[in-house]
Chains A and B, each alone.
Chain A
Amino acid sequence: MINTQDILETINMIREENLDIRTITMGISLWDCVSEDTDRLCTRIYDKITRRAERLVETGAEIEKMYGIPIVNKRVSVTPISLIGGEASPEGYIKIAHTLQRAADTLGINFIGGFSALVQKGMTKGSENMISVIPEALAETRNVCSSVNVASTKAGINMDAIALMGKEIKRAAYLTKDENSIACAKLVVFANVPEDNPFMAGAFCGIGEPEAAINVGVSGPGVVASAIRRAGDCNLSELADVIKKTAFKITRVGQLVANEAARRLDTPFGIVDLSLAPTPAVGDSVAHILEGMGLESCGAHGTTAALAMLNDAVKKGGVMASSHVGGLSGAFIPVSEDAGMIAAVERGALTLEKLEAMTAVCSVGLDMIAVPGDTPEEIIDGIIADEIAIGVVNTKTTAVRLIPAYGKVAGESVEFGGLLGKAPIMNLNTYSPAKFIRRGGRIPAPIHSLKN
């Protein structure tokens, strides 16, 4: 018989420590939907998504029941729409966004990602048209998510695209001003974007992906925090081992669910994303893990080192537990989605600058950070450029999901509810980078030797 202790440990992880599968995301390629006629394109997109993912929600619920583990979200990611839409007009792209929403409604999924563009080197007419209506697309839909890759280590940084994104983020905030600027929570700007990411808002089905694939993202900060608490006063080598072992167990469950979902949906397994994804629920916080490691508050000096160790140990533990690893893989530090991060900001311990430093050693970036609504575009551009530069130079994914909450000032907060949580409005350095941003052009790709 299975060891009683093991059974109790697993049950305790699920019932007391919030272990869950954050998402089963089905990536669906839309290449074969391409058409010159936007209406025909939309019909094909709707038909393909609803046919391919017809049983996704139902299957997720079956697996949830069979293994007794919550599967919080069922999602779909599609080929970047700017590639599929081609020369469609801005109005055509809005129509496509509505088509995605209709497909999401029919399926009953939580999110659909892929209203996306890849513009790290330059912009096609299609990308330009799509990006110009991202605010409308996100304001007029509920479950559609959008992302734009503005840089890569090989291509450098497209500063024109960053300047455009600052403007569109502000517009998205304005268009949803009555809902706490929620459109911005569904829009993320990337460097080195992964093509098989199951997490929103950045999920899309990359250009080298198969017809369809099952990608799974696990959660589990509560489990790691409890394991660290139980480990007591051990040294950091021992603590890294505790985290590795826990990450292994969490990821094995992700792999099990991914295999079963792939089998039942007759769709190839893609990847497991080795992630520590927090939720606003008590006991499901990455910040609390860092504090459990010995910091008085997340944001204290030492936070970057603690996070670097945590992130590395999660990967080392997880990588052996899964046959294919991908996506964002690492600890997430979204402010609004993590009760400990929110508390650290509110007590003044965690600043934007510290968060930026933290993103250099973990996945993914400046995530779910609310800033004053009157923040000038150029400052938003500057924040994006800084974060993107960290990713480009360090050959890693970084991303920015900022919410310039319309009409709000530092010290207030915005409430999104659900997984998106509550975001305290953070103070910003208000000195202007405008002249730098207005130069436009591209920051060249970094050199890959002389590493210092």
Chain B
Amino acid sequence: MKAVITVTGKDTVGIIADVATVCAKHHANILDITQSVLSEYFAMIMLADIDNLNIEFSAFIDVLEKLGEGRGLVIHAMHEDIFNTMHHI
């Protein structure tokens, strides 16, 4: 099972480090990252394996959202199936 984590907001030092730390703490294995910064606007999409999460996926979503709120970012984690279903036959 994989999750897509999206992070958007004003660019500051250490965004990836913070998100990666939360992932590591809860045993989400980061598989891929794509990120860009457009005139100080930070956007990142991360794919993480969540088979071995040490908390419920819904709790993991909450932890990430809270991290985002604390740093002025919007962080969402969604199950990859919604993207696969919508865009792949």
Contact = CB atoms under 8 A, between A and B. Distances in A.
A67 B45 CA distance: 16
B78 A68 contact: yes
A80 B3 CA distance: 42
Contacts of A7: 4, 6, 45, 83
Interface residues of B, number: 22
B31 A10 contact: no
Contacts of A3: 87
Nearest to B1: A66
* Pairs of residues from A and B, 5 with the lowest C-beta to C-beta distance, nearest first: A68-B78, A6-B87, A67-B82, A1-B32, A256-B85
A11 interface: yes
Nearest to A67: B82
Main secondary structure of the interface of A (DSSP, over half): helix
B81 interface: yes
Interface in A27-68: 62, 65-68
A256 B84 CA distance: 10
Contacts of B61: 65
B58 A65 contact: yes
B83 A4 contact: no
27 contacts: A1-B32, A1-B34, A1-B47, A2-B4, A2-B83, A2-B87, A4-B34, A7-B4, A7-B6, A7-B45, A7-B83, A8-B45, A10-B82, A10-B83, A11-B78, A62-B58, A65-B58, A66-B58, A67-B78, A67-B79, A68-B79, A68-B82, A69-B82, A252-B85, A253-B82, A253-B86, A256-B82
Contact of B85 (A4, A65, A66, A255): A255
B10 interface: no
B57 interface: yes
Contact of A11 (B32, B76, B80, B85): B76
A4 B32 CA distance: 11
A2 B4 CA distance: 9
Nearest to A250: B86
A354 B88 CA distance: 39
A256 B87 CA distance: 12
B43 to A, nearest CB: 9
Contact of A2 (B47, B58, B76): B47
Which of B57, B85, B87 is most buried by chain A, counting CB atoms within 10 A of its CB? B85
Interface of B: 4, 6, 31-32, 34, 45, 47, 57-58, 61, 76-87
Contacts of A11: 6, 76, 78
Nearest to B79: A66
B71 to A, nearest CB: 19
A229 interface: no
Interface string A6-32: 111111000000000000000000000
A311 B47 CA distance: 37
A1 B86 CA distance: 15
A10 B81 contact: no
Contacts of B79: 66-68
A249 interface: yes
B29 to A, nearest CB: 14
Which of A62, A66, A249 is most buried by chain B, counting CB atoms within 10 A of its CB? A66
A65 B79 CA distance: 9
A7 B79 CA distance: 11
Nearest to A1: B32
Contact of A249 (B4, B57, B86): B86
A62 B57 CA distance: 10
Nearest to A256: B85
Given A66-B57, A253-B86, 17 more contacts: A1-B31, A1-B32, A1-B34, A2-B47, A2-B84, A7-B45, A10-B83, A10-B86, A10-B87, A11-B76, A11-B78, A65-B58, A66-B58, A66-B78, A67-B81, A68-B78, A256-B81
A69 B58 CA distance: 13
B80 A2 contact: yes
Nearest to B77: A68
Contacts of B47: 1-2
A216 B4 CA distance: 25
Contacts of A255: 85
Contacts of A62: 58
A210 to B, nearest CB: 25
B79 to A, nearest CB: 5
Contacts of B86: 6, 10, 249, 252-253
Given A10-B87, A256-B81, A4 B45 contact: yes
A10 B87 CA distance: 9
A66 B61 CA distance: 8
A256 B78 CA distance: 13
A362 B4 CA distance: 37
